[in-house]
């Protein structure tokens, strides 16, 4: 289908290959033969602001983005509950709760819900995460009544029937086994288990075989009644919504009863142990999957933008240090990158890569060396200038659709950052100095705090022992 | 993995609004069309240029696609098109070494590339002020690629790592590679796009240079520039930079045709996996075939999303599988309709396979309900137009439609063709293609 639909590289269509994950960084013998002005490129001014921003009597925060140019709309609900709210004994409760929202309601069975969504030309997305759960639906404006009815039915009146709970638990149990066939996912889970030992985040978000057995219907209902509340949520209404429809949606959500909320869960801290590396071995692997994590800062920390630029230089782009050295100069991997994942209480910079069994040790040593070099030498003015240009120039893509803008508002609200981050983005990036960036590196990076997880063929075990 | 589903809907409506503000398709079934303004022309040297103005962001999406892919390879050089794609980033005469990447980064331009069975594409997202620079860089590597042995030596290792990552360490992709090798016996579609490890090891710059000189020529390329542009200015720039390039004779392409399948093919793969899975594959039709739209809808009815027949039976009711999807891949010379079923651990493939056979039997012998066909059409059309939601996707799909059919407008007429599929066609086309003689069963099982 979709004769002209082609995927992009990392989400690649199965029919496509390659993608130039990165290239080479060999100093050129010749000066660039044309004058290339590398002055900062300007990012667009943010044009879209919420039409309305209000808090309902039941505590629901609402952002309305009216955009009459398109006969479409979406409703997005961010519920402030995630895997971090699960108990250790019953990890997976929230993933089950969220997934069950589309598996039966007062009026509809699971298959009726699936058929209704498809027939309306709508998309329902449920994404339970570490710290929040996002439930979204979209559709044609002319179908808004039916879709609003359906969405409120699913969110307000899930039935959590025993049969559906049992089905889903069996499916999750099967998925837990099957995930072992995906080396990349196994490595991600292994790193989580290492980093978050003793917390719910150490386990798969769908739970474990043991935890799934312990979770009962009452746990799911309790989680739903406790957390899926208006005073624990943020709503965005986006698109071509008339004032009448806006009133209808708001009236619906006004009827959603609030409840007193439980105290916030305790902050999740990185483990205090000094263990540097953990590994797991699996026969048949021809490549090792390598994951590295360095503790950083929470999302709302004022150094966020500094770290974003450091990440761009270190491992965020094709000319990043990691990619230039380990892929382009040494040919040791097809892809290596770093990324920031900053949450409510803590954050990490991750490095992710893979290499053939024989060069596993070498790649880990190279990553170590690049981190050490970053800490010792900092970044250069040229690198900073280039990183600023890239981050600023590509910033508008994050706001390309009104849905993306709305999501950004909810996300920033949740993390206590505020929407000024968007309006001030260019100015904030522009004014960061080299000294500030290099001070941030000294402040936040530490080789001692670095954690490494490796999934590898058993033949690699000996070489890993040498670097533990 | 499926090409059938995507998440957002905005472009669908956006495009429809362009045509008719009174659009009431869902209610009246009035045929809908999608359309946005496009300018197409051809330079004297044969370069096809497609321009689309969209000033909503100060960005341009820049796509250069060449009509060369793995189907242009031959025994011993599988993966050559892909290897050349990598080498396109290794320096050209005016921009040697890593200048290409360095300059792009310094100017806030993101970029990437891909290779497929039929074509190879390079694309960038750039601030609209950088169009002149972008053209200089792309023209130079189209016409003056360096292709140095020392660069190939390192990049070969990168591609070997890519093969290990995509295929050798990835059971699902290994199953797909075996599937293509099973379904296609004569056509070059039997070869992996990335190439075999032996061939990757044996590439030399002469082979790649021949590929480059032959296929990376203006009359074998499509250039799409979409976004914050002014048409007259862009036309001048295109003429200035691409105009002087020389048109070259292209080789006659006598691709081996895949003969009609007459017996069922079977293949088995054993890996260190926890559960069985299988691909049930039917030989299908090339991109421009009139039956492809009915096959698209058949695939949607069978295995697109949780309201599809296979999901309901295999995943939901019988709880045999963790996933059941259908994908209809239209390549330029041939297509496949692939039903992929991923079983729960411990289950053998026989019973789930019989469920799939049963659903196919139903499609071949009994008409689907009108409401089910309408639902499939909505899903198919929405997914089709959702893929046009962003500037980059619009440029990508224009390039793909143009290079595949020679006419980008097919992108806009597909929806009408999907809407025109009848209940009778669904039954006839299912009976014509979903039969035992045209099917292959390729399975992945745990090693004992």
The H or E element that residue A173 is part of is: helix A162-178
- Is pLDDT at A141 greater than 90 in this prediction? no
- Is pLDDT at B25 greater than 50 in this prediction? no
Regarding whether A329 and A185 lie in a shared domain, the answer is no
Regarding whether A316 and A234 lie in a shared domain, the answer is no
Regarding whether B331 and B426 lie in a shared domain, the answer is yes
Digit-coded pLDDT (tens) for A279-338: 999 988 999 999 999 999 999 999 999 999 999 999 998 999 999 999 999 999 999 999
Q: Is A261 part of a structural domain of the chain?
A: no
Lowest mean pLDDT among A65-74, A125-134, A318-327, A383-392: A65-74
- From B242, B273, B297, the end of a domain falls on B242
Regarding whether B275 and B211 lie in a shared domain, the answer is no
Regarding whether B283 and B211 lie in a shared domain, the answer is no
Q: Under 8 Å CB-to-CB from A288, ≥6 apart: which residues? A: A354, A355, A356, A357, A360, A363, A454, A455, A456, A457, A460
Q: Which two tokens stand for residue A126?
A: 């449920």
- Least CB-CB distance to A20: which of B113, B328, B396? B113
Q: Is B318 part of a structural domain of the chain?
A: yes
Residue entry with tokens 């299908």: B284
What confidence category does residue B33 fall into, taking pLDDT thresholds of 50, 70 and 90? low
Residue in A closest to B24 by C-alpha: A142
C-alpha distance from A397 to closest chain B C-alpha (Å) = 8
What confidence category does residue B362 fall into, taking pLDDT thresholds of 50, 70 and 90? very high
Domain count, chain B: 2
Q: Is A266 part of a structural domain of the chain?
A: no
Lowest mean pLDDT among A72-76, A409-413, B163-167, B394-398: A72-76
Supply the pLDDT for residue A24: 31
Secondary structure class of B322 (helix, strand, coil): strand
Q: Is B54 left (phi over 0), alpha (psi -120 to 50) or beta?
A: beta
Question: What are the chain B neighbours of A33 within 8 Å (beta carbons)?
Answer: 94-95
Average pLDDT over residues A16-45: 36
Regarding whether A295 and A422 lie in a shared domain, the answer is yes
Average pLDDT over residues B114-127: 97
Regarding whether A333 and A198 lie in a shared domain, the answer is no
Q: Is B14 part of a structural domain of the chain?
A: no
Q: If you average pLDDT over every residue of chain B, what do you get? A: 91
Residues B9, A138: C-beta atoms closer than 8 Å: yes
- Is pLDDT at B72 greater than 60 in this prediction? yes
Supply the pLDDT for residue A98: 98
Supply the pLDDT for residue A465: 87
- Least CB-CB distance to B387: which of A5, A171, A329? A5
Q: Give me the residues of B, 264-293, that contact A with CB < 8 A.
A: 271-275, 287, 292
Average pLDDT over residues A171-183: 96
Residues A117, B307: C-beta atoms closer than 8 Å: yes
Residues B168, A286: C-beta atoms closer than 8 Å: yes
Q: If you average pLDDT over every residue of chain A, what do you get? A: 88
Q: Does residue A434 contact residue A440 with C-beta atoms inside 8 Å? A: no
Supply the pLDDT for residue A399: 87
Cα–Cα distance for residue pair B75/B167, rounded to 1 Å: 20
Residues A167, B319: C-beta atoms closer than 8 Å: yes
| Percent of chain A scoring above 90 in pLDDT | 76
Cα–Cα distance for residue pair A263/B236, rounded to 1 Å: 64
Digit-coded pLDDT (tens) for A62-99: 999 998 766 788 999 999 999 999 999 999 999 999 99
Q: Is A43 part of a structural domain of the chain?
A: no
| Percent of chain A scoring above 70 in pLDDT | 89
Q: Which two tokens stand for residue B124?
A: 């960038």
Supply the pLDDT for residue B32: 59
Regarding whether A294 and A340 lie in a shared domain, the answer is yes
Residue A174 contacts B where some CB pair is shorter than 8 Å: yes
Residue B92 or residue A241, greater confidence: B92
Average pLDDT over residues A425-439: 97
Supply the pLDDT for residue A377: 98
C-alpha distance from B1 to closest chain A C-alpha (Å) = 7
Regarding whether B121 and B83 lie in a shared domain, the answer is yes
Lowest mean pLDDT among A39-53, A133-147, B213-227: A39-53
Q: Does residue B387 contact residue B397 with C-beta atoms inside 8 Å? A: yes
- From A254, A286, A319, the end of a domain falls on A254
Average pLDDT over residues A125-129: 97
Q: Is B82 part of a structural domain of the chain?
A: yes
| Alpha-helix runs per DSSP H in A236-380 | 243-254, 304-311, 321-322, 360-377
The H or E element that residue A227 is part of is: helix A217-227
Regarding whether A250 and A364 lie in a shared domain, the answer is no
Question: What are the chain A neighbours of B390 within 8 Å (beta carbons)?
Answer: 397, 400-401
Residues B166, A17: C-beta atoms closer than 8 Å: yes
**Which among B291, B330, B283 is positioned nearest to B426, based on CA atoms?**
B291
Of the residues B21, B98, B190, B388, the best mutation for testing chain A's interface (the one with the most A CB atoms within 10 Å of its CB) is B98
Regarding whether B384 and B265 lie in a shared domain, the answer is yes
Regarding whether B311 and B238 lie in a shared domain, the answer is no
Question: What are the chain A neighbours of B115 within 8 Å (beta carbons)?
Answer: 16-18
Residue-range definition of the domain harbouring residue B266: 260-446
Q: Give the CATH number for residue B269.
A: 3.30.830.10
Residues B169, A183: C-beta atoms closer than 8 Å: yes
Residues B170, A183: C-beta atoms closer than 8 Å: yes
- Is pLDDT at B145 greater than 90 in this prediction? yes
- From B242, B272, B305, the end of a domain falls on B242
Residue B173 contacts A where some CB pair is shorter than 8 Å: yes
Q: Is B326 part of a structural domain of the chain?
A: yes
Q: Give me the residues of B, 342-381, that contact A with CB < 8 A.
A: 342, 344-345, 371, 374-375, 378-380
Digit-coded pLDDT (tens) for A179-224: 999 999 999 999 999 999 999 999 999 999 999 999 999 999 999 9
Regarding whether A283 and A249 lie in a shared domain, the answer is no
Digit-coded pLDDT (tens) for A411-421: 999 999 989 99
Q: Under 8 Å CB-to-CB from A39, ≥6 apart: which residues? A: none
Regarding whether B105 and B76 lie in a shared domain, the answer is yes
Regarding whether B427 and B296 lie in a shared domain, the answer is yes
Residue-range definition of the domain harbouring residue A454: 277-465
Q: Give the CATH number for residue A372.
A: 3.30.830.10
Regarding whether A298 and A237 lie in a shared domain, the answer is no
Residues B345, A283: C-beta atoms closer than 8 Å: no
Residue A229: other Cβ atoms inside 10 A: 21
What confidence category does residue B100 fall into, taking pLDDT thresholds of 50, 70 and 90? very high
Regarding whether B165 and B270 lie in a shared domain, the answer is no
Supply the pLDDT for residue A10: 28
- From B212, B242, B272, the end of a domain falls on B242
- A-B interface: how many C-beta pairs under 8 angstroms? 340
Digit-coded pLDDT (tens) for B171-206: 999 999 999 999 999 999 999 999 999 999 999 999
Regarding whether B308 and B387 lie in a shared domain, the answer is yes
Residues A319, B101: C-beta atoms closer than 8 Å: yes
Whole-prediction pTM value?
A: 0.91
What confidence category does residue B368 fall into, taking pLDDT thresholds of 50, 70 and 90? very high
Regarding whether B270 and B176 lie in a shared domain, the answer is no
Regarding whether A332 and A249 lie in a shared domain, the answer is no
Q: Is B29 part of a structural domain of the chain?
A: no
Residues B99, A8: C-beta atoms closer than 8 Å: no
Residue B20 or residue A468, greater confidence: A468
Residue B117 contacts A where some CB pair is shorter than 8 Å: yes
Average pLDDT over residues B105-114: 96
**Eight-state DSSP code of residue B228:** S
- Least CB-CB distance to B345: which of A18, A174, A318? A174
What confidence category does residue B365 fall into, taking pLDDT thresholds of 50, 70 and 90? very high
Supply the pLDDT for residue B83: 98
Strand partners, A239: A66, A73
Residue in B closest to A44 by C-alpha: B58
Average pLDDT over residues A330-349: 96
Domain count, chain A: 2
Regarding whether A309 and A205 lie in a shared domain, the answer is no
Regarding whether A293 and A245 lie in a shared domain, the answer is no
Regarding whether A328 and A226 lie in a shared domain, the answer is no
Question: What are the chain B neighbours of A72 within 8 Å (beta carbons)?
Answer: 9-10, 12-14
Residues B296, A118: C-beta atoms closer than 8 Å: no
- From A203, A219, A254, the end of a domain falls on A254
Question: What are the chain B neighbours of A30 within 8 Å (beta carbons)?
Answer: 96
């Amino acid at each position: 289908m979709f004769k002209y639909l082609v995927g992009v590289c990392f989400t690649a269509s199965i029919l496509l290959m390659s993608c130039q994950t990165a290239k080479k960084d060999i100093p050129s013998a010749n000066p660039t033969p044309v004058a290339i002005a590398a002055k900062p490129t300007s990012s667009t001014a943010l044009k879209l602001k919420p039409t309305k921003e209000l808090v309902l009597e039941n505590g629901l925060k609402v952002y309305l983005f009216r955009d009459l140019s398109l006969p479409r709309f979406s409703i997005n609900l961010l519920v402030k509950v995630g895997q971090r709210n699960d108990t250790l004994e019953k990890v997976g409760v929230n993933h089950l709760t969220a997934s069950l929202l589309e598996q039966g309601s007062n009026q509809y069975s699971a298959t009726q819900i699936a058929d209704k969504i498809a027939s309306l030309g709508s998309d329902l997305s449920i994404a339970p995460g570490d710290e929040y759960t996002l439930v979204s639906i979209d559709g044609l404006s002319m179908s808004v009544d039916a879709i609003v009815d359906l969405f409120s039915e699913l969110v307000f009146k899930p039935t959590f029937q025993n049969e559906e709970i049992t089905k889903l638990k069996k499916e999750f149990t099967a998925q837990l086994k099957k995930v072992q066939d995906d080396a990349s996912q196994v490595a991600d889970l292994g790193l989580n288990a290492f980093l978050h030992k003793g917390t719910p985040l150490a386990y798969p978000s769908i739970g474990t075989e043991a935890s799934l057995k312990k979770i009962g219907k009452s746990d799911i209902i309790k989680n739903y009644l406790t957390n899926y509340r208006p005073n624990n949520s943020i709503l965005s209404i986006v698109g071509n919504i008339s004032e009448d429809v806006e009133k209808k949606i708001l009236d619906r959500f006004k009827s959603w009863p609030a409840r007193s909320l439980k105290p916030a869960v305790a902050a999740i801290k990185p483990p205090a142990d000094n263990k540097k590396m953990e590994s797991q071995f699996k026969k048949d692997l021809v490549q090792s999957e390598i994951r590295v994590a360095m503790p950083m800062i929470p999302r709302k920390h004022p150094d966020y933008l500094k770290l974003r630029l450091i990440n761009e230089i270190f491992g965020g782009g094709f000319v990043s240090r990691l990619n230039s050295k380990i892929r382009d100069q040494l040919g040791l991997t097809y892809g290596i990158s770093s990324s920031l994942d900053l949450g409510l209480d803590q954050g990490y910079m991750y490095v992710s890569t893979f290499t053939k069994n024989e060069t596993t040790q070498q790649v880990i040593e190279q990553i170590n060396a690049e981190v050490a070099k970053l800490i010792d030498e900092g970044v250069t003015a040229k690198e900073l200038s280039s990183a600023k240009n890239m981050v600023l120039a590509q910033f508008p893509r994050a706001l390309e659709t009104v849905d993306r803008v709305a999501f950004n508002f909810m996300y920033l609200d949740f993390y206590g950052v505020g929407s000024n981050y968007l309006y001030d983005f260019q100015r904030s990036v522009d004014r960061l100095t080299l000294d500030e960036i290099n001070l941030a590196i000294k402040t936040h990076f530490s080789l001692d705090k670095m954690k490494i997880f490796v999934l590898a063929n058993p033949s690699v075990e000996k070489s890993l022992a040498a670097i533990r | 993995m499926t090409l059938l589903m995507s998440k957002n809907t905005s472009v669908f409506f956006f495009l429809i609004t362009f045509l008719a503000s009174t659009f009431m398709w869902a209610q009246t079934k009035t045929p809908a069309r999608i359309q946005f303004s496009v300018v197409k022309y051809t330079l004297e040297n044969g370069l096809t240029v497609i321009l689309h103005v969209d000033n909503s962001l100060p960005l341009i999406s820049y796509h250069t696609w060449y009509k060369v892919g793995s189907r242009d390879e031959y025994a011993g050089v599988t993966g050559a098109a892909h290897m050349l794609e990598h080498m396109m980033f290794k320096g050209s005469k005016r921009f040697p070494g890593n200048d290409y990447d360095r300059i792009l980064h310094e100017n806030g331009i993101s970029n990437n590339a891909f290779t497929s069975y039929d074509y190879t594409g390079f694309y960038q997202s750039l601030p609209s002020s950088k169009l002149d620079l972008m053209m200089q860089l792309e023209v130079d590597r189209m016409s003056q690629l360096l292709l140095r042995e020392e660069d190939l030596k390192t990049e070969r290792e990168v591609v070997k790592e890519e093969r290990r990552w995509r295929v050798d360490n990835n059971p699902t992709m290994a199953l797909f590679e075996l599937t293509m090798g099973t379904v296609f016996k004569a056509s070059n579609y039997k070869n992996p796009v990335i190439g075999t490890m032996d061939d990757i090891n044996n590439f030399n710059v002469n082979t790649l240079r021949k590929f480059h000189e032959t296929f990376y020529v203006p009359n074998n390329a499509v250039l799409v520039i979409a976004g914050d542009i002014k048409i007259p200015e862009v036309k001048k720039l295109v003429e200035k930079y691409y105009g002087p390039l020389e048109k070259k004779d292209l080789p006659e392409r006598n691709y081996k045709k895949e003969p009609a399948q007459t017996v069922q093919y079977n293949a088995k793969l054993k890996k260190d996996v926890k559960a069985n899975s299988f691909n049930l594959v039917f030989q299908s039709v090339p991109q421009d075939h009139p039956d492809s739209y009915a096959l698209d809808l058949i695939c949607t009815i069978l295995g697109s999303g949780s309201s599809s027949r296979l999901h309901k039976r295999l995943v939901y009711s019988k709880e045999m599988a963790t996933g059941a999807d259908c994908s209809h891949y239209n390549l330029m010379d041939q297509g496949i309709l692939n039903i992929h079923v991923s079983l729960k651990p411990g289950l053998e493939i026989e019973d789930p396979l019989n469920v799939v056979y049963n659903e196919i039997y139903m499609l071949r012998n009994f008409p689907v309900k009108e409401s089910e066909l309408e639902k499939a059409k909505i899903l198919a059309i929405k997914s089709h137009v959702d893929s046009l939601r962003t500037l980059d996707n619009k440029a990508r799909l224009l390039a793909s439609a143009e290079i595949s059919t020679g006419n980008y407008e097919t992108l806009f007429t597909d929806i009408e063709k999907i809407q025109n599929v009848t209940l009778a066609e669904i039954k006839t086309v299912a009976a014509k293609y979903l039969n035992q003689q045209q099917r292959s069963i390729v399975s992945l099982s745990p090693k004992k």
